[in-house]
A = this chain, B = another copy of it.
């Protein structure tokens, strides 16, 4: 790799005192690592940036242990970076100022499943798949699916969402409460297991999306949902992106309670065909999933079929049997890896924007024109029911001009979304990569409010410093 962090994100590393390392070793013994391999692993994520290594990694197994690390770091004015499954996409995990990475993957206990209440409480290191595995016999499921098997702590910290969000919401809507270790080592619980509350400031939502900059999330209570009695899937090809997206817009506007609606462009379909040895029509395609009773999923599919037909969709096929559904959806699920194979040896610079749904067709069509004119292969996929889409810009990591081209495209896509009253990131977060766009989106006074909140909770700038917005202690 050869993709340094953006200039605005370059920060001086802070000293890492021997006395801190000694104290950590005394407390955690072999669960402290300073090996280069471990530090490298923890100094990167799925972003294209070169790693920025923490000085040490501590493998914590309890809230109390996290508190110990945070207190020791606070005493030595040393940064703390929480690490879940390493699947974030915008440089969230890079130790740009050095410090201690707290690996929470050992905090992998499902603490309680309250099936009657449709809630579960887990340690932050539990992944979404592990949670769903634990729920297997309950008739319930946790719907949020960002693609990667991210940890629930990390998903909370980035306000993750994914394919099911159009029906079930994002982490914003589905986290009921958190346990958080604050910068000074105090431990708070936010929220209760009640489904709604008007009791004071919404601390839960303050920490959801804070990307580790306000404290370390160590436990998460989430909402669960009954597994739908019936599930059906559908796939449909369109002559143009515009027709596909307009089908989605009308589906949402009609109030069809679609559980998933995913857009995949022609280039991504070609990649999927090659990767999965399929023969899908290589044109813009929508994948749908419907949840409900037998009768209601049938009704939903029929309505969407009618809408798709009116937009020249062809080959609308729907499937209710699990193996048929899997066949349709596996293609979508493998899209990311399939796309990477379009250009051997490439890395993907992925961008993520979200716009009001009426602007989605215009936004995607204008973006397509940009991408067609670019030398880079850039497939588009999207959770279009929310107005959210991603572009994967496939670059040769050894060629700086391709990186520059990807960043140019990224800027144009984000600027376009902001002009359309959208957001610079629908679900990936800001990390190191979108700090400048954040200011543009919210305005400098709103960013100053965020800085004031940061100052209130982390005056010495110890919690994942250098992320989201610039801040000086």
Contact = CB atoms under 8 A, between A and B. Distances in A.
A26 interface: no
Given A452-B457, A456-B455, A194 B355 contact: yes
A61 B195 CA distance: 36
A317 interface: no
Interface string A176-198: 00000010001111101111111
A182 to B, nearest CB: 7
A337 interface: no
B387 A255 contact: no
Interface residues of A, number: 95
A57 to B, nearest CB: 26
B116 A249 contact: yes
Interface stretch (A6-14, A154-162, A320-328): A154-162
A87 to B, nearest CB: 14
A293 interface: yes
A182 B449 contact: yes
Interface in A188-224: 188-190, 192-203, 205-206, 208-210, 214
Contacts of A319: none
B252 A192 contact: no
Given A293-B299, A445-B187, A206 B202 contact: yes
Given A187-B445, A255-B225, A194 B356 contact: yes
A453 B453 contact: yes
Contacts of A158: 198
Interface stretch (A36-44, A274-282, A422-430): A422-430
Interface stretch (A71-79, A127-135, A232-240, A435-443): A435-443
A213 to B, nearest CB: 8
A450 B456 CA distance: 10
A174 to B, nearest CB: 10
A473 interface: no
A387 B188 contact: no
A426 B293 contact: no
Contacts of A388: 194-196
A195 B354 contact: yes
Contacts of A299: 293, 295-296
A15 interface: no
A373 interface: no
A457 B446 contact: no
Interface stretch (A102-110, A165-173, A341-349, A392-400): A165-173
Given A118-B252, A253-B116, A426-B194, A203 B446 contact: yes
A254 interface: yes
A17 interface: no
Given A358-B114, A456-B456, A457-B449, A172 B386 contact: no
Interface in A25-72: none
Q: Which of A198, A203, A228 has the most CB of B within 10 A?
A: A198
Nearest to A160: B198
B172 A422 contact: no
A196 B161 contact: yes
Nearest to A227: B255
A260 interface: no
Interface of A: 114-119, 158-161, 165, 169-170, 172-173, 182, 186-190, 192-203, 205-206, 208-210, 214, 225-226, 228-229, 249, 252-255, 257, 292-293, 295-296, 299, 352, 354-359, 386-388, 417-418, 421-430, 434, 437-438, 441-443, 445-450, 452-453, 455-457, 468-469
Given A194-B356, A194-B423, A199-B438, 20 more contacts: A116-B358, A159-B197, A172-B202, A192-B356, A192-B421, A192-B423, A194-B387, A195-B354, A195-B356, A196-B427, A198-B352, A198-B428, A199-B423, A199-B424, A200-B447, A201-B450, A202-B206, A202-B208, A205-B205, A226-B254
